[in-house]
Amino acid sequence: MGKYLFFVLVLPAIYNLLITDCLKAHNLYLNQVGYLPQAQKYVFTDDPFMEEFFLVEESSNDTVFSASFFPHVAEDPATDLDLYVGNFSSFTQPGRYQIQTGNSLVTHPFVISDTAYHQLYNKSLKAFYYQRCGYDLLGPVADPYYRTRCHRSDGFYHSSTGLSGFHPAPGGWHDAGDFGKYVVNAGITVGTLLMAYEYFPIKFGHDDIFIPESDNGIPDLLDEVRYELEWLLKMQDVGGGVFFKLTAEVFAPMIMPQDDESSRYIYELSTTATGNFAAVMARSARIYAQFDSVFASSCLEAAESAWTYLQNNPDIIPQGGFTNPEGTITGQYGDGDDRDERLWAASELYITTGNSNYHQYFKDHFEDKGVLTGTMWWADVTNLAQLTYLLSEDHTSIDASIQEDLRSALVSKCQSLLDQKADNGFYVLLSPGEYVWGSNSIPLNKAILLIIGYEQTGMETYFNAALDQLNYILGVNVHKLSFVTGLGTNFVLNPHHRPSEQDNIDPAIPGLMAGGPDQYLSDPTLSSLFDSSTPPARCYVDDVDSYASNEIAINWNAPLVFVTGYFAANSLTGIQEDQPTIIPGKIKLLPNYPNPFNSETIIRFVLPESDSVVLKIYSLQGQLVYKEDLGHRFAGESLYLWKAMNDRGEELPSGIYYYLIEGKYRSSYERLVLLK
């Protein structure tokens, strides 16, 4: 056995055995990464004789907390387990702990910390860098997962386009465990990542993720997303329509990307692809404008010409949605309904441009497929269209009554998610039937809705229900497994991911989330192990061959980035409420003057009621650089002169800063540009 084989086969096996034995012996289910101090914290067991648990501080071995387990769910429909829950929410002291039970068994350590999810966030975002196609992954940034540039001849027109010859479309991310590039899946991925940045620019403003573009003054999330946008732009035809995908005719074998020399093709135009493209380009136009106005303009131009194509082609193209032509066996992403992609395009274009044509389209169609009823996924982006409209504060022409309807629908949605949580053994927002291919992305997309619901209402139950979904991904599941490579103690080791499988390095590239249980057993590995009597959540195996349960994909990692990034920079700060109430009059920021400025600027804000408020100013990297108690202010407009200094009275360097006003309510973040 060669050294390589030893590392590949034996070490992980031993490691897995030790850890798995340790965890399974305990019959304890907990988040292996950690918990936020102020959040709800649970440990589950299926052992009816386990009556109580103790929280033990790791270094001192002191018992710092104890509590009893209580019956939670009998015969949980997803797992067939009888589950008992122990609650240690009231213990909030940061540190490293283990859980000890009556029979003296101790689990692996985990943290209670405000920074519990920092590393998870960094790695789940950096995972996109490792998906780059047509790129040399070199130097310390790539270490140790080096690879040279792949797919240098992307791509040739497939005959389905009616065109022939070469059309350069290098770059972008490999979609998943394969090397294909699919516009609709790129669209929802980019849309989700940009949504995270747009609504939480401080949390997602880090410039130190350690990608080649780190420390360039632009948030790394935007740098990484731009790598995909540059490819997407190349997928647009001269008439504005967008080609569906760029792949080989069949999936590559299990080889490294740079060894894949198959011919790759650009497939026919599609209206789902075009609508998706128009939406993300319109959103990009408004987000990148502050960093690169030329690029932003090219995004807007591309979005508008895509929209024109959609207007000229009111029926879905190709008819019935895209299907693989004869001889092609790569991802199909079949979607026979392009109404949601058109709606999303209209919504983003309206918010970016204020143009009444887009607005009218949105007003005419926003209820066509329900109002925030489902969960966003690649075939249905209705929610993304509606959230963009709901959360926009920029337009005087916006229809306040539609926004109010959307807000109410969001609250109803969040309430229904709380009901679903209560019915499920591990508080996961997946019920039998929902354990589909890629099921792990569903609770995370629902968590996004809960996070936005929390931001709108201050309901802590939404905040905690969103965290429950992260708990599920990180170990509170029947497999006692962290579904994210490299994170937690017992994590996925063998994802269906060609570079991870073939790079002679263990463990797998970190920060990638496996698709998770697939009760429909959509691959031969699953169907050989399980059958229709298997409880849905158990239909998973950490096997490289199980593409239906153990592949990774960009559209699954995007909500992981959203949720982990949100909580990585968040402790519970909401307003405590027993019932959901809507905050119609949160603190409004008026444009500061002047902006940009060189030594001082007037910060202007409007309070809905009299209140004591605080001004906070953050660097682009998210560090709090200035905090000032502005004292008690009356309802209405208020002013404050900021002299561009930090708390210690030192002048701050030129750059972009963000600020907000906080009191009983909170304002959104706005930008300050200091130019000396």
Query: What is the contact surface with Ca ion in residues (CB under 5 A)?
Result: 207, 213, 216, 218, 220, 223, 335, 337, 340, 379, 500, 503, 505
Write out the two tokens for 358: 């887009």
Q: How far is CA 151 from the centre of its chain?
A: 27
Evaluate the CA torsion angle 121, 125, 131, 132 in order and state its sign: negative
Least distance CB 186 / Ca ion (angstroms): 15
Token duo for residue 346: 């209209």
* Distance between CA atoms of residues 113 and 62, nearest Å: 18
> For residue 100, what are the β-bridge partners?
54, 106
C-alpha closest to that of 144 among 555, 510, 610: 510
The SS3 of residue 34 is: strand
Tell me the three state secondary structure of residue 121.
Answer: helix
Cβ count near 610 (within 10 Å):
13
- For Ca ion, the closer of residues 213 and 434 by Cβ is 213
Shortest distance in whole angstroms from residue 34 CB to Ca ion: 26
Nearer to Ca ion, 19 or 379 (CB): 379
Using the minimum distance from each CB to Ca ion, give the nearer residue, 355 or 621. Answer: 621
Q: Which is nearer to Ca ion, 439 or 500 (CB)?
A: 500
Give 73 or 196: the residue with its C-beta nearer to Ca ion.
196
| CB nearer to Ca ion: pick between 224 and 304 | 224
Our CB check for Ca ion shows the closer of 61 and 216 to be: 216
Q: How far is the CB of 501 from Ca ion (least distance, A)?
A: 6
Task: Please give the helix or strand (H or E) that residue 14 lies within, else none.
Answer: helix 11-26
What's the rounded Cα separation, in Å, for the pair 142 and 386? 38
> Closer to Ca ion at the Cβ: 216 or 293?
216
CB of 223 to Ca ion, least distance (A): 4
φ, ψ dihedrals at 319, nearest 5° = -55, 130
Task: Tell me whether the omega of the peptide bond preceding residue 12 falls within 30 degrees of 0, making it cis.
Answer: no
Provide, rounded to whole angstroms, the least separation between the CB of residue 322 and Ca ion: 11
H-state helical runs in 393-545: 400-422, 441-457, 460-473, 498-502, 524-529
- Collapse the DSSP code of 295 into the 3-class scheme (helix H, G, I; strand E, B; otherwise coil) and give the result: helix
Q: How far is the CB of 212 from Ca ion (least distance, A)?
A: 9
**For every residue of 10-74, which 3-state class applies, written as one string?**
HHHHHHHHHHHHHHHHHCEECCCCEECCCCCCEEEECCCCCCEEEEEECCCCCEEEEEEEEEEEC
457 and 577 in contact (C-beta within 8 Å)? yes
List all residues 6 or more positions away from 129 whose beta carbon is below 8 Å from its beta carbon: 137, 141, 209, 211, 212, 224
Q: Is the CB of 265 or the CB of 437 nearer to Ca ion?
A: 437
CA-angle at 562, arms to 556 and 564, nearest 5°? 100
Q: Is the bond leading into 594 cis (omega within 30 degrees of zero)?
A: yes
Q: Give min distance, CB of 302 to Ca ion, in A.
A: 20
Structure-block tokens of residue 248: 């080989």
Three-state DSSP class for residue 656: strand
Give the separation between CA 290 and CA 403, rounded to whole angstroms.
26
Q: Name the minimum Å distance from CB 337 to Ca ion.
A: 5
Least distance from Ca ion to the Cβ atom of residue 227, Å: 12
Extract the tokens encoding 556: 């699954």
Shortest Å, Cβ 499 to Ca ion: 7
Write out the two tokens for 27: 């019959």
Rank residues 40 and 445 by Cβ distance to Ca ion and give the closer one. 445
Shortest Cβ distance from residue 275 to Ca ion (Å)? 8
How far is C-alpha 267 from the geometric centre of its chain's CA atoms? 28
> From the CB of 382, what's the least distance to Ca ion, in Å?
8
CB of 159 to Ca ion, least distance (A): 26
Is 255 or 505 the residue whose CB approaches Ca ion more closely?
A: 505
Question: In terms of CB distance, is 260 or 503 closer to Ca ion?
Answer: 503
326 three-state secondary structure: coil
Query: For Ca ion, which is the closer residue by CB, 304 or 340?
Result: 340
Q: Which is nearer to Ca ion, 335 or 542 (CB)?
A: 335
Burial 493-517 (b: 16+ CB within 10 A, else e): bbbbbbbbbbbeeebbbbbbbbbbb
From the CB of 373, what's the least distance to Ca ion, in Å? 14
Tokens found for residue 211: 């990608």
Cα(540)–Cα(26) distance, rounded to whole angstroms?
21
